[in-house]
Structure 1
């Protein structure tokens, strides 16, 4: 799945986004491009579950 995180502005944010995703699915593969704010995730969890965790942690995603 691919989505953007509009308020992800730095490497620290990217680490936070990764941690939020890994909290939902420890085996998720996460690829982040901070410059484009794009996140690509390979996970067995749904976008809704990952989005809920990201939103709770202050990184609300937007589907693309």
Structure 2
């Protein structure tokens, strides 16, 4: 799935986004495009759970493609 992630301004933010996703699904594969503000995620977790967790972590997110 492809996620739009706001407020991801540095590599530390990108690592925090990856950690947040992998807390929900330790086997998730995450490819972050920090300049583009997106992440491609292969996961068993539900999209809405990811959006909620990322938003709570300070990175408002939305699903662009499932």
For residues 9-62 of structure 1, the C-alpha deviation after alignment (integer angstroms, 9 at most, x for no partner) is 110100000010011000000000111011010001110111111111111102
CA distance in 2: counterparts of 1:62 and 1:43, whole angstroms: 15
Please list every run of 5 or more consecutive structure 1 residues that lacks an aligned counterpart in the other structure: none
What count of residue pairs does the alignment treat as equivalent?
A: 64
Query: Equivalent residues in 2 for 1:36-47 (5 A)?
Result: 36-47=36-47
Large movers: runs of 4+ above 6 Å:
none
Q: CA RMSD in A?
A: 0.8
> What TM-score, normalized by structure 1, do the two folds share?
0.93
Please list every run of 5 or more consecutive structure 2 residues that lacks an aligned counterpart in the other structure: none
